[in-house]
Amino acid sequence: MSNTSIDASRLLGRLAELGAIGCDADGRLVRLAASDADKLGRDRLVAWIEAAGLELAIDRIGNIFGIWAPDSTQDRAPLLLGSHIDTVIDAGIYDGCYGVLSALEVIETLKASGFAPSRPIAVAAFTNEEGVRYAPDMMGSLVYAGGLDVETALATRGTDGSLLGDELKRIGYAGEKEPGFLKPHAYIELHIEQGPVLEREGLSLGAVENLQGISWQRVTIEGDANHAGTTPMTMRRDAGHASARVITFLRERAMASNTQTVATVGCLEFQPNAINVIPSKAIFTVDLRDPDEDRLKEEEAALARFLESLSAEEQVTISVERLARFEPVKFDEGIVATIEAAARARALPCRRMTSGAGRDAQMIARIAPSAMIFVPSKGGISHNPREFTSHDDLVAGADVLLDVVSTLTQEE
């Protein structure tokens, strides 16, 4: 449908409108999962879904669906599109929201054009993709794909002590549908890249062919608290110094590799956290990612070996807790090729690429052929109010999604 385009002003207007919902007293955009701000964003999305004449459905984990199912398609599995609308703290306005609102826009454009799909088309907004308030991230899609029991997920306690199930009920989004009630024929997610590759190479689109595996661990190092001035350096069991050695090890190993491995320590806490006391305990997270499962396992093993030797050298006790583990995902070759063809038809430069971040597509790929489309992120910045993608790129991505959806749902 390269001769048809989405309604650019409607899409951009909705992105701005949704992006204004959830600003805190300091002007920061914060719509954590199942919060009051999340409710307001959900309410607005639901209003748009209903105004579009779509069937609204909400499952028990709070995933929201807008379904277009003409009578002739009722007995067929739907093509599912979507992403999420929850945010990190002090977020930008595009991450996740762009994929949901573009999917809705594509459905509305197809309906208005008189297009007759061969199967239903649905938009999904998955709960708690970011994982800021409740862990793990990508929870709504993980539950939907059968990777996490819904009762276990609803019993998850948040960083503020709340239970996810209670909060979903409180804000009115504890639905009745069982997760997975809608069995997708395929799934496509449009997203900002959240990285610098497309902008650096001057490209309009990325056809995402795979997604990095993710390993999250929490490491606890225990030593002895002691006086910072009177304890000789050679007689310390310094948990803080030991943690610094781990951070340095991870960075140096990743920098020395010629692979796509990345390593991050994102959270770090010392106890007793006093300026003149040697830390008795250091607690920190390790985020390892690689698109190759064997390499990811090797990085995990290398970290385990280093921690074992570090424990002996520094005379500290080290324990490790697994927080999350997702294997790399290879997306559907046929859908990826369809994305490339749609980009060519609109004369948009495109390349195949890897997603470095976890996405809902990573979970839905467990139950249906899936793929993703990326548009550039200025400066590669995301999870930040400076997150920005040009209007032209936003519209181009939605137009390509429109073409891919029409191709995959033409009469067969």
Task: Please give the pLDDT value at position 358.
Answer: 82
Task: Please state the domain extents for the chain.
Answer: 8-211+328-408, 213-326
Residues constituting the chain? 412
**In angstroms, rounded to a whole number, what is the distance separating the alpha carbons of residues 335 and 207?**
9
- Three-state SS at 227: strand
Flag whether pLDDT at 164 surpasses 60.
yes
Task: Please give the pLDDT value at position 411.
Answer: 64
Confidence of residue 1 (pLDDT cuts 50, 70, 90): low
pLDDT tens-digit profile of 122-140? 999 999 999 999 999 999 9
Fold matches, 8-211+328-408 and 213-326: no
Return phi, psi of residue 132, to 5°: -75, -45
* DSSP one-letter code for 195: S
Confidence of residue 25 (pLDDT cuts 50, 70, 90): confident
Flag whether pLDDT at 412 surpasses 80.
no
- Has this prediction a pTM greater than 0.75? yes
User: What pairs with residue 321 in β-bridges?
Assistant: 218
pLDDT tens-digit profile of 258-293? 999 999 999 999 999 999 999 999 999 999 999 999
Single-letter amino acid, residue 370: S
Rounded to a whole number of angstroms, the CA Rg of the chain reads: 23
Confidence of residue 2 (pLDDT cuts 50, 70, 90): low
* Contact present, 45 and 100 (Cβ < 8 Å): yes
3-state secondary structure 333-355: HHHHHHHHHHHHHCCCCEEEEEE
> What is the average per-residue pLDDT within 52-57?
98
Task: Please give the pLDDT value at position 255.
Answer: 97
Has domain 213-326 been given CATH number 3.30.70.360? yes
- Segment holding 25, helix H or strand E: none
User: What pairs with residue 115 in β-bridges?
Assistant: none
The mean of the pLDDT values for the chain is: 96
Q: Which CATH architecture has domain 8-211+328-408?
A: 3-Layer(aba) Sandwich (3.40)
396: CB partners within 8 A, 6+ apart = 204, 205, 346, 348, 375
pLDDT tens-digit profile of 177-224? 999 999 999 999 999 999 999 999 999 999 999 999 999 999 999 999
Task: Please give the pLDDT value at position 397.
Answer: 98
Task: Please give the pLDDT value at position 24.
Answer: 85
pLDDT tens-digit profile of 320-369? 999 988 899 999 999 999 999 999 999 999 999 999 888 999 999 999 99
**In angstroms, rounded to a whole number, what is the distance separating the alpha carbons of residues 5 and 405?**
13
